[in-house]
Amino acid sequence: MAYELPDLPYDYNALEPYMSARTLEFHHDKHHAKYVSTFNEMTKDTELEEKPIEDVIKIAFQDSSKSGIFNNGAQAWNHTFYWNCLTPNGGGTPNGDLAEKLNAAFGGFDKFKEEFKNAAATQFGSGWAWLVSDGGTLKVTKTSNAENPIAHGQTPLLTLDVWEHAYYLDYQNKRPDFIQAFLDQMVNWDFVAKNLATA
């Protein structure tokens, strides 16, 4: 059961001016596509080939001999999840149950944003910032390289890719500006709310 590269849920230029069509095309069609094809090559004709990618991620994370499978599988999954965390005319403030739980967990939406921005900005080198449900508790975390919350038994609700290829064409070394644009203009809170409802 090969893992498929999904189409983006919007046009390449849909997130401009906050994320350029050039960035999306390069990121999705080159980086993400390569993770998917490499993962499929590495799991072909193995006992992992027919397993859901989430199960493969958990198995490979526990076995250092499968680090290549973990890295490519987790990155394939992370990017598919990430594209859905973005939406044209996104950002703003969530409402409903999500807003209530963010307020309860962080002491207010602005405090959540500060914690998320800090996690994304202080992730040294390549990695990801996350909002997760951990046993029903909302937490902000960060992971390096391909690592993701699935490997730790947490449920991802939101992520931001802070690998340089995610923002360098548009923001160069100004990662904080990219993080701010993500939160203010691109976050798909409806997707986050759906993830929370099934967590």
Q: How does DSSP assign 63-82, residue by residue?
A: -GGGHHHHHHHHHHHHHHHH
Give pLDDT, residue 182: 98
The CATH homologous superfamily for domain 21-85 is: Fe,Mn superoxide dismutase (SOD) domain (1.10.287.990)
pLDDT digits (tens, 9 = 90+) for 18-49: 999 999 999 999 999 999 999 999 999 999 99
Which helix (H) or strand (E) segment holds residue 146: the answer is none
User: pLDDT tens digit string along 162-178?
Assistant: 999 999 999 999 999 99
Classify domain 96-197 by CATH number: 3.55.40.20
Listed by start position, the domains of the chain span 21-85, 96-197
Residue type, position 173, single letter: N
CA distance 111 to 20: 29
Q: Which pLDDT score, from 0 to 100, does residue 164 have? A: 96
- pLDDT for 80 equals 98
Whole-angstrom distance, CA of residue 88 vs CA of residue 91? 9
DSSP 156: E
Which positions of the chain have pLDDT values less than 70?
1
Which pLDDT value is given to residue 1?
A: 66
Within the chain, strands assigned E span 127-134, 137-144, 155-161
What integer pLDDT is reported at residue 2 of this predicted model? 87
- Provide the β-strand partners of residue 142: 129
Distances (CA, A) of 150 to 49, 60, 108, 170: 19, 11, 26, 30
